[in-house]
Amino acid sequence: MSETAEDINQPPPAALKDTSLHAKIIDGTALSKSIVASVVSRVQQRQARYPAFKPHLVIVQRGGRADSNVYVRMKAKAAAECGFGFTHVHLPADATEAVVTAEVVKLNADPKVSGILVQLPLGEGIDAEGERRVTEAIAPAKDVDGFHAYNIGKLASRASDPLFLPCTPAGVMRLLDEAKVEIAGSRAVVLGRSDIVGSPVAALLRRRDATVTQCHSRTKGLESIIKEADILICAIGKAEFVRGEWLKPGVAVIDVGTNYIPDATKKSGQRLVGDADFASCAAVAGYITPVPGGVGPMTVAMLMDNTLRGAERQWEEERDRKVIPLPLDILEKVPSDIEIAMAQTPKQITQLASEIGVLTTELEPYGSYKAKIDLSILDRLASRKNGKYVIVAGITPTPLGEGKSTTTIGLAQAIGAHLGKPAFACVRQPSQGPTFGIKGGAAGGGYSQVIPMDEFNLHLTGDIHAVTAANNLLAAALDARMFHEATTPDKSLFTRLVPAKKGKREFAPLMLKRLEKLGINKTDPNELTPEEARRFSRLDLDPETITWNRVLDVNDRFLRKIKIGMADTEKGFERITAFDISVASETMAVLALTTDLADMRDRLGKMVVGTSKHGDAVTADDIGVSGALTVLMKDAIKPNMMQTLEGTPVFVHAGPFANIAHGNSSIIADRVALKLAGIDEGDDPSRVGYVFTEGGFGADMGLEKFCNIKCRVSGLVPDAAVIVATTRALKMHGGGPEVVPGKPLAETYTKENLETLREGTKNLGKHIQNTKKFGIKVIVAINQFTTDTPAEIELVRKAALEFGADAAVASNHWAKGGEGALELAKAVVDACESGEPDFKFTYPLNIPIAAKIEAICKDVYGADGIELSEQAQKQIETYTAQGYGDLPICMAKTQYSFSHDPKLKNVPTGFTVPIKSIRLSAGAGFLYPLLGDMQTMPGLGTRPGFWEVGVDVATGRVVGLF
């Protein structure tokens, strides 16, 4: 136990002034000041490079012992002097052991805390065994007192080093070194056997090759043992126990004792002395530490040193992201996707999280191989610079496929598992509709997949089910509201909406929002006039304007148009409505575009379900359901983490349609990945990682919406774009024969055909040129097939460069995993490191709605112009009047052509885009013009994919899933 502040300020013992003394005084006060100054300097040097670096010491104290209060104040003062953060957790004297331990465990998990110290003794009610359990609850990496069994045990072993040395023993060794006492080969006697001083000091001396004898009060022949000592450590706890005549001349005496003896000359009536009689020992010893002014100040100084070293270690560990790749057993004949996925054993998701720097408190595992990430990670990593951001898009889709998802995963594997850089793939969660229909899942393919593939393509963590529940709650609420408004008089309707509870009426919080919207500045329901109460109660929703459908995550063509309200209990209030597939819900688009929980609540409340008979937009807030929607979505907002076949991280989050909504995974998942892939200020730029996020369908769809919608909301700018193409798909755009499911491919697609391929590269060229207009570097990924010839690959490569691509590289990640995408990955890295993007949007938000639509059609699709229907023109007028004119545009059109007509392949020209109607997604924050009839509920074909899907009952494994 160190001295009090009063003791430290006492003058040294009178004997110290006697110049005839033989011993040289080892000044612990001066040395401690030097150590603290060094700590201050090291902190400042590191903060000069890394401004976010901040050591933080926490002391947990139970009760209010006077001496403990003094020690805490001393340590707090030293921490402030060193530039540390400091927290004093002061628990009541009757706090149980469990309460103290729980506080310690919470601090273990706090990434801002560098060191934890439990101030001992804990006081009445917690015995020595309880104190041991409390101190061992401290994480060894934060045990700056050095008392944890892990650190003490490592100290006793010559084969390993503890994370921290106990402060007082470490101070003893520094004092010996300061005096230049030769330790190796010397005989050292440690007088004392406590776990805090005696035993650790003995271990430290042995590690320095001293021959150590450890004694205690019951040691026989103690005086003769001490007489042989070259170094004597006094830690027996007896005032002035050791006498000078016991010492060997020239011995180094380190006095750790803190004992009080009566002294009438002191105001307190007592004086602090050590375990050695200073006057007699100083006359014989070669070196001696005074009490006070010796070991005591060193204890606090070494605590500061430990705290800094703990912070330095923690800082490096948090930034040291080492993903351990999973080996691939690559077969020459590539098996089915599900066979490849099932043959790989994934890492435990907790292990992957640790590798990429996700804390246990930020991870919510769902089984062994998937987890949600808590949004608090964004606060912890807020000061970190983002990693490199790459959008993966493709040419105009064909039935032959381009392999965007496969390329996204292959790139992440190449950079993360082979180039050794942090790499993250961010992809959408697939709907069960295509999974059991004809398209298949979205986990990638071949040796570039997300695993476990079956979990990825099915329920995952239930986000789509949450979207379904929220969407349908709103649908139920609006129909119920219309029913009650139609069957209830004004006064009764208001009374039911604002019932008296215990004789008092109060508005629900969301009701106050509606009152504000209506311009009614009252908060007491009893103060509303009958007219105000009527306006508040009646939404007067026009049934003909309702745009909100129910949803289901199944392809079901017979729900595309339904009649509801058929039961007798609905009293004839029938109406025609429909089901959409769940991923077409605006709720899903909100999930993908939201930035945090508060923003999601606001967006869900703004969702418009229709228009009132007075021309006002009716929202989820008006219906009073937005709070409940947020509750249903509060877990879905957290991104899901999975892994690739090679054990690199993948974030799977949200799944909005790419031809109705904006078709990109969530902003939140991208932000989390970019922070985990990022670097701190002062870091070597070569440590930066990469995030690959995918835009749905062709670059005229997913990438255009990524830039004009997602980037506006997120404020993020891509460093590069990868456009995926295959020779087969390009040949189809070049005039190749139609592909019929179930029939063999024509020779055009399986044999070299340079003329057709050359014509098809025009489609690739248009996508390259469109992407360059956004100011983004473009790398073309030629997704290679076994039938591709060198001449075909070279033709596409040269054409891509002629159209303005920054690089064009063939990639064989489907057959070889990350290794097959290495050259493509290097091209991406080179492009991202070659300079900052000069990003620009296609249109400003403050121009008329029609002008924004026309800008996309002309600049991106290559149209001559647009033609607005009468309905679309009226809708533009309505949305502008309602205040929605400044929203971005999300075009709803066919994915199979640059135009509105799926039959127009390659790069059509000379067409005008007809705008049939325009719909509003106020919560998601965009307007979506409809370019023809768009199906929001797919149907099942004659031979859907579910025929193959089943379970191996012997193993429980899914079979037949792609």
List active site positions. 75, 119, 145
d(CA 669, CA 791): 40
End-to-end CA distance of the chain: 68
Burial of 959 (0-12, 13-18, 19+ CB in 10 A): middle
How far apart CA 927 and CA 876 sit, in angstroms, is 10
CA angle 856, 858, 862 (to 5 degrees): 115
Phi/psi for 59 (5° steps) reads -110, 125
d(CA 782, CA 13): 84
Q: To the nearest 10°, the Cα dihedral for 183, 187, 190, 195? A: 60
Q: Tokens representing 518?
A: 């209506």
- Residue 912, helix vs strand vs coil: strand
Return d(Cα 304, Cα 514) in angstroms, integer. Answer: 56
The residue count for the chain: 962
- CB under 8 A, 24+ apart: contacts of 160-165: 163/310, 163/313, 164/140, 164/306, 164/309, 164/310, 165/200, 165/204, 165/302, 165/306
Extract the tokens encoding 679.
Answer: 């670097």
List all residues 6 or more positions away from 508 whose beta carbon is below 8 Å from its beta carbon: 624
Q: What are the DSSP calls for 218-246, one per residue?
A: T-TTHHHHHHT-SEEEE-S--TT-B-GGG
Q: What are phi and psi of 86, to 5 degrees?
A: -145, 135
State the amino acid at position 712 in one-letter form: R
Going through 381-482 in order, the beta strands assigned E by DSSP cover 388-394, 423-427, 444-445, 448-451
Amino acid at 332: E
DSSP 735: T
The two three-digit tokens of residue 532, written as one number: 């105000």
List the beta bridge partners of residue 448: 445
Structure tokens at 688: 């930066």
Q: 333 CB contacts (<8 Å, ≥6 apart)?
A: none
* 197 bridge partner residues: none
Non-local (6+) Cβ contacts of 149 within 8 A are: 136
Q: Could you say which DSSP state residue 417 is in?
A: I
d(CA 168, CA 447): 57
Please return the burial class of 947, using the count of CB atoms within 10 Å of its CB with bins 0-12, 13-18 and 19+: exposed
Query: Which two three-digit tokens encode residue 110?
Result: 């706090």
Return the beta strands (E) in 688-764 as ranges. 690-694, 720-725
Q: CA 126 to CA 121: how far, in whole Å?
A: 9
Amino acid code (one letter) for 177: D
Rounded distance, CA 59 to CA 75, Å? 9
